[in-house]
Amino acid sequence: MPELAVLLLLPLAGAVTFAFLGASARAPEANAAFSGFTALAAVVLAIRVLADGPQLAMRDLFHVDAFSVFLVALTALVGFTTSLFSRPYMRNEVVAGRVGPTALRLYHAMYQLFVGTMLLALTTNNIGILWVAMETATLTTVLLVSLYRTPASVRAAWKYFILCGVGIAQALFGTILLYLAAERVLGGGGTALLWTQLEGVKDQLEPSVVTIAFVFLLVGYGTKAGLVPLHNWLPDAHAEGPTPITAVLSGLLLNVALYAIARSKVLADGALGTPLAGNLMMGFGLLTVVVAAFMTLRQTDVKRLFGYSSVKHMGLITFAFGMGGAAATFAGLLHMTVHSLTKSAIFFAVGHATQKAGTQVIDEIRGLVHTSPAVGWGLMLGGIAILGMPPFGVFAAEFLLLTTAMSAQPWAALVLLVALAVSFGGILWRVQAMVFGAPNLKPLLHRPAILPVFVHLGLTLLLGFYLPPFLAAWYREAARLIG
C-alpha cells in the first residue's frame, strides 16, 4: 500500500526537512503542503479501506480497519487545517518576537513528527508500537509546550512530561501483562502483540491477567486522554503551548488515547466476559464530566477553559464507549469526530483572539465581533457548537448518547445532564463576554486564517443535519469492531 507508506513517511520527511529549514521564509507553507499531502494520502487510504475492507501491510505490522482509518482521516484532516491556521499564527508570533528561528525550526519539525506519530499509533497493528508512538507523541509535544520559555510554559511542560511519562509507563506495564496473557495462547515471538491476532483469541486470554492489564492500560492511556483525576497536565499544557499545538493536542492526541483505550476494552471484554471494563470506563467518564463541568466555572484563561471543555468531552466519549452497544459506540465515534473538528476550530479562533488581545485572560478580551467579525462569530458558533446546541453535530452525538443512556443508565443520564447544564453556563458566560461587548483589541499584521475555522464549523454543522451514508456505515462498522 503506497499510500500508507506516504502517510507515515511524509511527516517523517517533513520533520527531517524542518529540522534544518524550519525557520525559512516559506516554511509555514511547506508545513501546510506536507500536511496537505499527508491528508491526501489518508483520504486515499480511507477510500481503499472503505472499498476493500480492513488492510494488513508489511508482514502484519500495519493494520487499518474501519475504526482506525476513520481516525486516520480525521487526524490527517485536522493536521492539515491546523497547519493552515498555523501559517499566519506563527508569523504573527514571530512579528511579536515571541519565537526565534531555533524555536521555529523546532516547532515545524515537531509538528510534523507529532502528526506522524499519531498516524503511526493509529495504523500500527502492534500494541507495543502503539505504546511507543504514544510516548513519542508526548515527547514531541513536550518541547512545543515550553516553546515560549516563559516560567508558566516551562512549568506546564514539566508537569505534562512527568504526569504523562508516569502515566504512559503504566500503559507499558499493561501492555507487558497483555503480552504475558497472549503469549500463553499465541506463543512467544512477534505475533503475540499483534492486534489482529489478539482479537482472534481474546476469549482465551487469562482473565486475571487481563483485568490487571486493563487497569494499567486504562490508567496509562486515560492519563493521556485526560480522564479525571489523571487530567492535571492537560489544562496547563493546553494553555501554555502555541495555539496550533493546543488545537492538535485537543483535537488529535486525546482521540488517539481514547482509541487505545477502546482497543484495550475490546480485549478486556473478550477475555472477561463481564462488564467490568465498561463499568470502569463509565465511572471514569462520569467523574470526568462532572469535575470538568464544575472546573469550567473557575477559569480565567481562555485556553484553559477550553482545555477543561476537552476534558469534559473526553469524559462523555469514555462514558459512551464504556456503555458499549451499537448505539452508544456510534455516538462515541460521532462525538470524537465532531469534538475534534469543533474544538480545533475553537482553538483557531481563540488563537487569533489571543494574539489580538495580547493576552489569554478572558476578562481582557472583549468585543471580538466588532474588531474581527469572522473570528468573533467563529468563536461564538464554535462555543455554541461545543456546548451541544443544535444544529451542530455535537448535539447529534449527545442526543444519541443521552437517549441511549436514559434507557440503559437513567441515573447516569441525570448526572450527565446536570453537569452539561453547569458547563453550559460556565462556558457560555465567558464566550459571550469575549465575543460581545465593546471592543478592546488591536489589528494584526498577518491576516488570520478564517477558512479552517469555518470549514470545521461547516462540517460540524453538516453532521448535525446529515450524516453521509458512507460515514454512517463507517461508524457502524467501527462500532461493530469495538462495541
Partner 1 sequence: MSFVSFSPLPCVLGIAVYWIALGILGLTQRADRDAGRILYAAGAAGGLLLAVTAAWALGDAPTTVQLPLGLPGLPFHLRLDSLAAFFLVLLGLAVTGISLFSTGYFTSGSTTNDRVTCLHYHFFLAAMVFVLLADDAYMFMVAWESMALVSYFLVTSDHRFAEIRSAGFLYLVVAHVGAMAILLCFGVLHGPDGGYTFEAMRSADRTPFWATTAFLLALVGFGAKAGFLPLHAWLPEAHPAAPSPVSALMSGVMLKTAIYGLLRIGFDLLPIQYASWGVIALALGLVTMLYGVLFAAVQTDMKRLLAYSSIENIGLVLAAIGLAIVFRAHAMPALAALALCAALFHCLNHALFKSLLFLATGAVMHATSQRSLGRLGGLIHPMPWVAGAALVGTLAIAGLPPLNGFVSEWLLLQAFLLSPELPDPYLRMIVPVATAALVLAAAVAAYVMVKFYGVVFLGQPREPSLRYAHDADAWQRAGLLFLVAGCVLAGLFPVKVLHGIDHVATGLLGRGMGDAVGGHWLHVTPVSAERASYSPLLVLAGILGVVSAVFLYVRVRYHMRTRRAPAWDCGFPAQTSRMQDTAEGFGQPIKQIFEPFFRIEREMPSPFDGAPRYRARTEDKLWYALYLPLVRLVERIAGWVSRLQHGRIQWYLVYSFATLLALLVLIRCQ
Partner 2 sequence: MSLANQLVDLIAALMLLTSFAMLAQRRLTALVDLLALQGVLLTAATLVAAWVTGHAHLYLSALLSLVLKVVVLPTLLRRLVRRLDLQWDREALVNTPTTMLVGIVLVIVAFNLALPISALSGSILRGALGIALASVLLAFLMMITRRKAVSQVIGFLAMENGLFFAATSVTYGMPMIVELGIALDVLVAAFVFGIFFFRIRETFDSLDTRHLETHPAGEGEDV
Cell of 78: 485536522
Cβ neighbour number for residue 313 with a 10 Å cutoff: 29
Residue 191 contacts partner 1 per CB under 8 A: no
CB 483 within 8 Å of CB 325: yes
Of 317, 375, 312, the C-alpha closest to 346 is 375
35 vs 138 by CB, closer to partner 1: 138
Residue 162 contacts partner 2 per CB under 8 A: yes
CA R_g for the chain: 21
Residue 298 contacts partner 2 per CB under 8 A: yes
Residue 58 contacts partner 2 per CB under 8 A: no
Residue 151 contacts partner 1 per CB under 8 A: no
Residue 295 contacts partner 1 per CB under 8 A: yes
Residue 297 contacts partner 1 per CB under 8 A: yes
Query: What count of residues does the chain have?
Result: 483
| Site size for partner 1 (CB under 8 A) | 69
- The torsion angles phi and psi of 62, rounded to 5 degrees, stand at -120, 145
Cβ neighbour number for residue 52 with a 10 Å cutoff: 8
Residue 436 interacting entry, from partner 1, partner 2, none, C-beta within 5 to 8 Å by type: partner 1
Residue 417 contacts partner 1 per CB under 8 A: yes
Rounded to whole angstroms, what are the CA distances from 358 to 92, 100, 226, 244, 354?
A: 11, 18, 28, 16, 6
31 vs 170 by CB, closer to partner 1: 170
Cell of 397: 452525538
Angle, alpha carbons 55-60-64 (nearest 5°):
30
Sole window of 63-71, 298-306, 328-336, 398-406 interacting with partner 2 (rule: CB under 8 A): 298-306
Cβ neighbour number for residue 294 with a 10 Å cutoff: 15
Instruction: Provide, rounded to whole angstroms, the least separation between the CB of residue 91 and partner 1.
Output: 29
157 vs 338 by CB, closer to partner 2: 157
Residue 46 interacting entry, from partner 2, partner 1, none, C-beta within 5 to 8 Å by type: none
Sole window of 33-41, 119-127, 350-358, 458-466 interacting with partner 1 (rule: CB under 8 A): 458-466
Residue 291 interacting entry, from partner 1, partner 2, none, C-beta within 5 to 8 Å by type: partner 1
97 vs 410 by CB, closer to partner 1: 410
Fill in the amino acid letter for 149.
Answer: R
CA 208 to chain centre: 31
CB 380 within 8 Å of CB 435: yes
Sole window of 49-57, 294-302, 376-384, 405-413 interacting with partner 2 (rule: CB under 8 A): 294-302
Cell of 77: 484532516
360 Cβ neighbours under 8 A, 6+ residues apart: 239, 301, 302, 303, 354
Instruction: Provide, rounded to whole angstroms, the least separation between the CB of residue 232 and partner 1.
Output: 4
Cell 462523555 -> residue: 316
Instruction: Provide, rounded to whole angstroms, the least separation between the CB of residue 304 and partner 2.
Output: 7
Instruction: Provide, rounded to whole angstroms, the least separation between the CB of residue 397 and partner 2.
Output: 28
Fill in the amino acid letter for 128.
Answer: G
Rounded to whole angstroms, what are the CA distances from 99 to 139, 146, 230, 465?
A: 20, 11, 31, 42
Cβ neighbour number for residue 442 with a 10 Å cutoff: 10
Instruction: Provide, rounded to whole angstroms, the least separation between the CB of residue 12 and partner 1.
Output: 32
Which of 16, 152, 414, 418 binds partner 2 (CB under 8 A)? It is: 152
350 vs 385 by CB, closer to partner 1: 385
Work out the burial of residue 423: count CB atoms within 10 Å of its CB; fewer than 13 is exposed, 13-18 middle, 19 or more buried: buried
Q: What is the 3-state secondary structure (H, E, C) of 159-175?
A: HHHHHHHHHHHHHHHHH
Q: Which residues pair with 63 in a beta bridge?
A: 56
Question: Contact positions toward partner 2, by CB under 8 A?
Answer: 61, 126, 128-129, 131-132, 135-136, 139, 142-143, 146, 149-152, 154-159, 161-162, 165-166, 169-170, 172-173, 176-177, 179-180, 183-184, 188-190, 192-193, 206, 208-209, 212, 235-236, 239, 295, 298-301, 304, 361
Question: Contact positions toward partner 1, by CB under 8 A?
Answer: 155, 158-159, 162-163, 166-167, 170, 211-212, 215-216, 218-219, 223, 229-230, 232-233, 235, 276, 280, 291, 294-295, 297-298, 327, 367, 369, 373, 384, 387, 389-391, 395-396, 399-400, 402-404, 406-407, 410, 413-414, 417, 420-422, 424-426, 428-429, 432-433, 436-438, 464-467, 469, 472, 476
